[in-house]
Amino acid sequence: MVATTEKSIHVLKEGHVTSPNGFSAGGVHCGIRRSKLDFGWIHSNTPATAAGVYTLNAFQAAPLKVTKESIEKEKLIQTVVVNSGVANAVTGKQGYADALEMQKLAAEKMGVDVDHVAVSSTGLIGVPLPMEKIHTGIQSMENPDCYSAENFEKAILTTDTVTKHMAVQVEIDGKTITVGGAAKGSGMIQPNMATMLSFITTDAAVEHDSLQQALKDVTNKSFNMITVDGDCSTNDTVLVLANGQQNNEILNKSHPQWPLFLEAFQLVSEGLAKLIARDGEGATKLIEVNVKGASTEVAARQVAKAVISSNLVKTAVYGADPNWGRIVCAVGYSEQPIDPDKVSVSLGDIDVVEDGLPLDFDEIEGKQYLENETVQLVINLKDGPYEATAWGCDLTYDYVKINASYRT
């Protein structure tokens, strides 16, 4: 959660992945998808310190392997190329060779070191990367008309209905540091990353190990706390690039203003994560689950995830049915140490359960609250000091519609 120093962080009105200095981005239709943009890129004027986190799915897609291996070499990325429509997952040796080829072609086109190129794909599993079309996309990287953050943000989408972007600014050591980001994700969204891609940029100079640790910590409190449908994809990736264009003293964990940088990073990640949850396939509402009073951090997170992942809770919110029994039930099966006689539940400000017993509340008021576009479910376990927040969306007819006919 973003803490009290938030005031010192300025959220840009129109923030993008290109808001930090020295980043450009673009996108085109290269022909993988029927008519929508399907190939995009981010480019930094100079190689940027880079860190990544990747899906834990055993069928990790080829581009993730290529990107991971490249970052491991020099911890630097200058160009990121992304296609949508085809995930290049479950494609074997050919898929790996194709991802390498995509990387090499982009490096040649942009005149950067091949290991400074990250590649990323999202879309159908098990379909070979159409290399001719990828080639067409890469050709467009020399065309100034294709450059815009919006083009990039559109090019990475699949079943998403809106682009997802954000940027914030903070003062560090007298320099204005900007953190920006763009993300995609709508289905196959689940804690531990899912068909979710997120690219975060900053013009701060940041030491690599601190950046990698920060990415892990921030991801655990943002992207790993969202769920749309409980399915964890083969391609999830969050990349962060820090190009140091503001010439600040290199930031690391020991820097006195590190917490402020972390907060800016968290704010962008959390913002993008919530945009993904709100744009969940078929969703009409954003659901936020706050768990308080847990005996451990794991318990707080697991209880929040159990509730946000419950199909019964999600359908109850869709139908604006204040059926708190389903919330309590999900708390109970979270497999965490819970004292049922201490648990309290509120729908926003409406208390519905206290110390494990139902309260008399106004059902109409409860129903009205659940008709809001953002719904908060608060669970207090009264068993310790730990808290966690998870985000998700309601489960609707349209979720079924979208997923019963994704390909056909």
Nearer to a copy of itself by C-beta: 28 or 193?
193
Taking the CA atoms of residue 298, residue 68, residue 392 and residue 32 in that order, the dihedral angle to the nearest 10 degrees is -160
Residue 195 catalytic? yes
The two tokens of residue 371 are 């008709």
Packing angle of the helix pair 325-332, 311-318 (nearest 10 deg): 160
Distance CA 246, CA 252 (A): 15
Buried b (16+ CB within 10 A) or exposed e, 247-280: ebeebbeebebbebbbbbbbbbbbbbbbbbbbbb
Q: Is 132 annotated as a binding residue?
A: no
Check binding of 330 to a copy of itself (CB under 8 A): yes
Nearer to a copy of itself by C-beta: 37 or 87?
87
Mention every residue, 6+ apart, whose C-beta is less than 8 A from residue 92: none
Check binding of 298 to a copy of itself (CB under 8 A): no
Distance CA 102, CA 95 (A): 10
The residue annotated as part of the active site, out of 55, 91, 163, 195, is 195
Check binding of 54 to a copy of itself (CB under 8 A): no
Distance CA 162, CA 270 (A): 17
Check binding of 325 to a copy of itself (CB under 8 A): yes
Nearer to a copy of itself by C-beta: 12 or 125?
125
Check binding of 364 to a copy of itself (CB under 8 A): no
In contact, 277 and 194? CB cutoff 8 Å: no
Q: Is 176 annotated as a binding residue?
A: no
Q: Is 408 annotated as a binding residue?
A: yes
Please give the single-letter amino acid code of residue 225.
Answer: M
Nearer to a copy of itself by C-beta: 247 or 368?
368
| 193-232: contacts with a copy of itself (CB under 8 A) | 229-232
* Catalytic positions: 195
Task: Cite the annotated binding site for substrate by residue number.
Answer: 158, 184, 195, 281, 403, 408
Applying CB under 8 A, which residues contact a copy of itself?
55-60, 87, 89-92, 124-127, 187-188, 190, 192, 229-234, 309-312, 315-316, 318-319, 321, 323-326, 328-335, 338, 340-341, 353, 356-358, 367, 395-397, 399-401, 403-408
